[in-house]
Structure 1
Amino acid sequence: MNSQTDTLKALVKVVFVAAVLIVAVWGGRQLRSRSNLANTTSLNEVQQPAGSEEDVLVSRGEILYTQHCAKCHGDEGNGDGEGLRPLSIRPRDFHSPHWRFEKSEKSIQTVIRDGIPGTPMPASKTALSDSDINSIASYVLEIANEKSAAITSTGTSETDLLIAAGFSPVIPARVPDLKLTNVAGADVTLGKFKSKPMIVHFWGTYCTHCIQDMPRLNEEIAMLKDSVSVISICADVTEAEELTEFAKQFPNMDFHADPAGLAMNRFGASLLPSFYFVDKSGTVLGVTHQLKTVKIRSLIEQIVQPDE
């Protein structure tokens, strides 16, 4: 009897100890769970950026802008980044009042995504996510509106005049002193034409658009001859005599061959047709792919100073 009682007491002790251990383990787990939850909440509070959703978007956009855009557009969006090179189309100054497209997030997103053909602005395609593109566009619009609001117009700048005439401003550079041959067989250099402003016109015999536009150019260039020299350089012909019969159809145009085949490369031209505006000091100021002679006359009247 005593033996059974002792056994029962021992069993009760074992059950009691086991129950205590189970409760202790369960309690410890609950405490750890609550502690982790508190730490996670605290960590999230630290990592979550302060401010509105728009502030967060702009903040991320600033980081992405610095990584992908500032090299050309500059840290503050002035179009003066260190990645510029002579004869490259000048990156947009986001503070300028003149934009070629609607000044909106949607338009900026489109440019980032699709790029601008014929300029150093590449298409991001899949390199940036839609979220990243939206963030950059938000930041660009933010700095554009912020600075533009603080700018007081003091007149029309050279850049504004170029844009109004249909040109994309380039980083000013001396015009390459190329050696060309005209249809009369004479060797000439671009330096010969520096007594007045010059438009250097690149075209090609294989360029359908170039050929179709020749009749219009021939008529309109006649109205510019007193104020500007228009030099038409054929990009795919090195022997001037090959252009003789073609040139007879357009007597107002000054056709040249490029014997060395280097002219387009020296100008950084990548599309045909291309028209480069050069002031009479021999500085290349802008490029366009569709010459608008009516606006060119206005540009020349305002941007070219008479000889003293």
Structure 2
Amino acid sequence: MRIIFFGSDDLGIPGLEALLENNYEVIGIITSPDKPKGRGLKVLPNPIKEKAEKLFLKIFQPVDPNDREFITLLKELKPDLGVLISYGKILKKELIEIFEKGIINIHFSLLPKYRGAAPIQRALMNGEKETGLSAFLLNEKLDAGPIICQEKIEIKEEDNYGSLKEKLKELSKNFLIKAIKKYLNNEPVIYQDDKLATYAPKIKKEERKINWEKGKEDIFNQIRALSPIPGAYTFFRNEQLIILKSEISLKEVNDLPLLPCGGILILNKGLYVKCGNSFLRIKELKPSGKKIISDLDFINGYRIKTGDAFNN
């Protein structure tokens, strides 16, 4: 079984490792070109390329994988099966048809919900109670091919983007092997109902800014969906402040002060912010250019008092 692996970020590493550990013949890695990163804009390889180099695998980095010359090159490799995990580019019919048995795509949602580039963040942002993995056969439509199998996991209240991503990555290793075996055994697939599809587009910069007039549940979900990166933010004393962790629960307290949305309440050494419908406790913050601090450190370091405010 000659396999070509498509991937461009760390979500694909467990799957690639699983293929090799289970003695599948990986004849090539297709990944995105190197890009400038960091403050110095140094050109660096992505995590999949780094992993492939350590494993001495053949690497291809086409700007456009659907380019005719590249397709001709792939045909010469005579691949049987493709495996795609978080590659980041749409593959066209001519490329898909090179693979005798098609291409299996591992997607980080329970399709047909959350088709697109940011399924983990969008599930958290929308307050979903569960998510999971879907293995499906790739076609030209976005995440719309027939489903081979799925696996669910619970989304816990304490989960954020970082923790949920790691849980799904860990799950993906055995899940990929299970999906390949089911597919090669000709087990029946499930065709997606496009009427049930929802979408998960990339997070836009403007979605990161917190609007304190929203309900505390919406803001809580926004914060955890964007933590630890890229981070939901607000402004305090004209400086950007990233909010990394919050907590919904606030026991009923009598005689709370009347504060505008964004107004700060200091209660039992905790930092609470007035939202559209109640108060949200802020537990971890990152001032611009500084390290992550707790709410108590923020209160003490910035001499915060009740009545101060975050700006909308």
TM over 0.5: no
Query: TM-score, normalization: structure 1?
Result: 0.23
Higher helix share: 1
Higher strand share: 2
User: Per chain length, whose mean CA-contact separation is higher, i.e. which structure has more relative contact order (CA < 8 Å, sep 6+)?
Assistant: 1
Please tell me whether Structure 1 or Structure 2 has the larger radius of gyration of its CA atoms.
Answer: 1
